[in-house]
Structure 1
């Protein structure tokens, strides 16, 4: 069995894994990505902020697989709107381009499947993984100093401690229709779930039916595509996507509920993206939330490796943000479900409009007065403790606003309520316009 020694190994080459790998390269780390092509040739919808987020982490070439904005029709809560747009993504093409782009940026990419990895199992601070390359008869042993788990929903979870939302399954069908049809997408609520349909500019069609697995009897895999099309044949939003015969490309049933891992980091490992937490797909934030937990992960890894004194702060930082993202996206999904009152009594809707709790999607419970705490923050390439202002709307705290530290400004403004901002700005090391912008933000948080 061949042994390969590496420093940082990222498992998975999707948006989250790529964002971490590219961020670590910019910080001067050698990175190896281990991944395999997606098993399902999916079409997904993303927003302009996802495109901006991908550009922000240095991804450019892969954006060629993201179409220009196309109309999105939504039939929800008894009304139909066609005001919104979304960008459709051919994920197979996107992932191929992303794999090549990682290599162009100097990231080593190993086309292989991870056969075994248990965090901390080696006991010597490093990690031993077994990987299987397509052309190798025997698995290889991969030794890593640090491992980033970014295999999305395929990442295994421990048997206990996982937080899960209502059990949900997405029935997916991908077909190839006649080219030349108008690109676009549509979503519609149904008594037992909801449907999403899309057509790429080249004619590829995607149908998705999201239901509770306990309320439906699935056919054998070979009949799943016909089953999905039959279920959507009477759904108004789906009709434009079923207007002509289409050759089936692939059909799949997969779990798609919200999931939060019990632990998302250790001394020499980290979970990001859907491997750390996955949101209900109704929130429409799949790639966005994956990026959200991965954007600051390179600084967390860099701190764990190079600034051991700040390691506890880095782990706290990553854990709090992943857990905060999970709760926020779970509540966003809950609020979407709550908008649809027509099916409120149906089992699918009743449980989802009440999970995970009754707290607001943004901010914290109650109306606690703003106060200053010591919390971990991102300071250039590392995580360290700093004074932040904690408010109801910003429960994790705010350190800077437009380059001005908020905690000293808060103290100065409270100590001299009538003092002009022109007098405060020099004390804070910021310009007058920036101090004014920071004060406006403070007032918006309820500060006087």
Structure 2
């Protein structure tokens, strides 16, 4: 039986592991504990993504959403909420889900990887992985899911502005605090931005994000004092720094947006942050990691079972990873543009214009729609199907409301106007001929066609 080896046990690696098990593969996953106990704020969309991936134990540790405030461009906003997750708890829950599903989990550090084969190389080579304890693992296919820690030096990359995030823990000496005090805050600063989280047990998690080239950072021995002074100098941060002191040493991590352009080969694939990592300001880190990871099992399955379609599968995967990267990059750019006070400062100037001037969402008109053959996920494999191409969805829309969209659009183009469309689709037999089975689906189709201006004079 084909052996799948996954390096990395976070949400991305875990999602691929469960997906490959569902397709009938034997899966081994190698992971090591996080070097620091990070806290992250996630939205309901991320929670839905984790649920879709199958993380039951992982989700059991999630707290209820708490208040999130933002101080941006001189204005305060407290309308939003987010769930503050402790990544070590989430990752531990994910590993429990994997083991319950029959995934063999090895808790070790990876020392070396050999045997990766390029996509156009037809050699039958096993991937060899050496662990820190001296154990050697062999697999038919490897998934690189170690996030930003995955080796990148040998791969072509596209990078955004060089960014560094400094994380510092604080703790209140007043003992346990009320649950109502769990909260988070984001605030813009002249040379960057800060995010702060408060947990009910008195722990505080403070993060400062700056430009690597523009920041005047002290030597390592002075970094703790530097971070403390920076956070104490933020008036709005008093709720997080008051009655609290820093604990331990700050942790620095690179948070530069990076797209690894070579992300797939004949016997390997990169997923999650190992394939592309976005600016933390967009707040979509786990979501984007899951986005690539949930598509990867069908791509891997195609490479293994239908090698004649390898190029098709690779094109599907590369296009989607690149599309996700630039979509999230533009979301971050738009957030940076909302801060108008310091646009001439290096940090803000570098990020208000990257990656380009393209809008995140484009206006779509009915006359711009086209129907083309494109790769999609179908029955656990990558296959070509007719999809609807729009300016906002250049990779195509295959299904809408559970039915193929292309036949409906083709029919709408033939009918040319809304009156003829409504008359044709009033016949149930006509609806069935294009896949529409019930009124809810027909209403969804009508609503979408209205949104792109079908029938407008």
TM-score interval (norm. to shorter): over 0.9
After TM superposition, give the deviation of residue 115 of structure 1 in Å. Answer: 1.1
Change (3 A) 1:75 1:6: same
Equivalent residue number for residue 444 of structure 2: 437
2:354 aligns with 355
Q: Which 5+ residue runs of structure 2 have no aligned equivalent?
A: none
- Work out whether 1:406 is the aligned partner of 2:412: no
Matched with 2:57 is 61
Deviations 1:287-326 (A, max 9, x none): 1111111111111111211122332221111111100000
Contact in 1 for aligned 2:8/2:144 (Cα 8 Å): yes
Look up the match of 2:196. Answer: 197
Distance 2:246 2:311 in 1: 54
Identify the residue that residue 422 of structure 1 maps to in structure 2. Answer: 426
Q: Does 1:96 align with 2:92?
A: yes
Deviates more, 1:407-416 or 1:11-20: 407-416
Secondary structure of 2:250's match?
strand
| Residue of structure 1 in register with 2:256 after alignment | 257
Compute the displacement of 1:366 (Å).
11
Render the CA deviation track for 1:11-61: whole Å, top value 9, x for unaligned.
100000001101111111111101100111111110111111111111011
Q: Give RMSD over aligned pairs.
A: 2.1
Query: For 2:148, which of 145, 150, 153 is the aligned residue?
Result: 153
Counterpart among 165, 170, 174 of residue 170 in structure 1:
165
Matched, 1:120 2:123: no
Once the two structures are superposed, what CA deviation does each residue of 1:325-352 show, in whole Å capped at 9, x if it has no partner?
0000000000000010001111110110
Contact 2:155 2:260 in 1 (8 A): no
How far, CA to CA, are the matches of 1:365 and 1:425 in structure 2? Answer: 25
Q: Given the superposition, is the C-alpha separation of residues 30 and 364 from structure 1 closer, same or farther in structure 2, using an over 3 Å criterion?
A: farther
Offset from partner CA, 1:245-302 (integer Å, 9 cap, x none):
3350452111101000021111221111000000100001111111111111111111
Between 331-340 and 157-166, the greater mean CA deviation after superposition: 157-166
Change (3 A) 1:127 1:430: same
- Tell me by how many angstroms 1:101 deviates: 2.4
SS at match of 2:34: coil
- 1-structure distance, mates of 2:171, 2:19: 37
Name the CA distance, whole Å, in 2 between partners of 1:58 and 1:260: 27
Is 1:183 the counterpart of 2:156 in the alignment? no
- The alpha carbon displacement at 1:220 in A equals 4.2
**Length-normalised TM-score, structure 1:** 0.93
Indicate conservation of the 8 Å contact 2:292/2:321, yes or no. Answer: yes
1:38 alignment partner in structure 2: 34
How many residues of Structure 1 are paired with residues of Structure 2 in the alignment?
Answer: 439
Hey, what's the Cα distance between the residues in 2 that align with 1:413 and 1:340?
A: 44
| Structure 2 residue aligned with 1:130 | 130
Q: Deviations 1:391-420 (Å, cap 9, x if unpaired)? A: 112111011111221111111122123142
Higher mean alpha-carbon deviation, 222-231 vs 64-73, is at 222-231
- Worse overlay, 227-236 or 8-17: 227-236
Change (3 A) 1:187 1:429: closer
Deviates more, 1:356-365 or 1:369-378: 356-365
- Residue 229 of structure 2 corresponds to 230
* TM-score normalised according to structure 2 size: 0.91
Match of 1:377 in 2: 376
Distance 1:394 1:361 in 2: 11
